[in-house]
């Protein structure tokens, strides 16, 4: 085999591995980040505030004006539903009753971007790499 052919093959095989490699699971705002349909979503719990940041697959912020979101939160064995409202930029905000404990809180968000179908995402706080 010619060296050039070999080199070409190596490059071709290496490209998908690099291109497909996933970024860190922690988002730009310090929250857990996960996939939601065509988007990346990042959830931050601060006190009783629930903030959902939406980015595209390349981690560029997506404007969420006109978007709707709902979070189902399981904390202390209690399930509660929180409506998240657009709060400027790529953030959706809502208030929940968490009692300050963010460990082993599980959150499911349903995000509806304008003119799109709802997409779901699941977060498990206090547990990384899941």
Partner 1 sequence: MSVRRLLAAAAVAASVTASVAAPVLAHEGHAHGGEEPKPVVAMAAPTLETSSADFELVAVAQGRILLVYLDRFTTNEPVNGAVVEITADGEAMTASPVSGEEGVYRLEAGWLSKPGAHDLTVSITAADASDLLIGTLEIPATAAVATATGTRGGVSDVLARVRQDSGLLLGAAMVFLLGVLTTVALTQRGRPRAVAGAVLIGLGLLLAGGTAFAHGDEDHGQDDKGKSPAAIPSTAPTGASESPRRLPDGSLYVPKPSQRLLSIRTTVARSQEAARTVQLIGQIAADPNGGGHVQATQIGRIEPGDKGLPYVGQRVEAGQILAYIAAAVNIVDRSGIQQQIAIVEQELVIAESRLQRLRKLEGSVPQRDIEEAEATLNGLRKRRAALSPTLTTKEALRAPISGIVTANNVKVGQVIDGRDQVLFEIVDPARLMIEAVAFDPRVANTVHMASATTADGVTLALEHLGHSLALRQQAIPLLFRIIAPPQGLAVGQPVRIVAQIQGMASGIVLPRKSVVRSGSGQPIVWQHESPQRFVARPVRTQPVDANTVLVLAGVEPEARIVTDGAGLLNQVR
Query: Which spans of this chain sit near partner 1 (rule: CB under 8 A)?
Result: 16-17, 19-22, 35, 37-38, 57, 72, 74, 77, 79, 106-108, 110, 117-122, 124, 127, 130
Q: Provide, rounded to whole angstroms, the least separation between the CB of residue 80 and partner 1.
A: 11
Rg of the chain over all Cα atoms, to the nearest angstrom? 18
Q: Which is nearer to partner 1, 74 or 87 (CB)?
A: 74
Q: Provide, rounded to whole angstroms, the least separation between the CB of residue 46 and partner 1.
A: 20
Q: Which is nearer to partner 1, 93 or 106 (CB)?
A: 106
Q: How far apart are CA 71 and CA 111, in angstroms?
A: 9
Q: What is the 3-state secondary structure (H, E, C) of 12-39?
A: HHHHHHHHHCCCCCECCCCCEEEEECCE
DSSP code for 9: H
């Amino acid at each position: 085999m010619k060296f050039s052919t070999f080199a070409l093959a190596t490059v071709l095989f290496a490209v998908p591995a690099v291109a497909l490699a996933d970024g860190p699971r922690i988002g730009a705002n310090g929250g857990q980040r996960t996939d939601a349909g065509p988007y990346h979503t990042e959830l931050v719990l601060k006190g009783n505030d629930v903030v959902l940041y939406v980015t595209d697959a390349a981690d560029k912020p997506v404007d969420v004006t006109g978007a709707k979101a709902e979070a189902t939160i399981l904390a202390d064995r209690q399930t509660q539903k929180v409506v998240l409202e657009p709060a400027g930029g790529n953030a959706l905000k809502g208030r929940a009753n968490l009692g300050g404990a963010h460990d082993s809180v599980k959150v499911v968000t349903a995000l509806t971007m304008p003119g799109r179908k709802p997409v779901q995402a699941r977060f498990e706080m206090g547990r990384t790499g899941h």
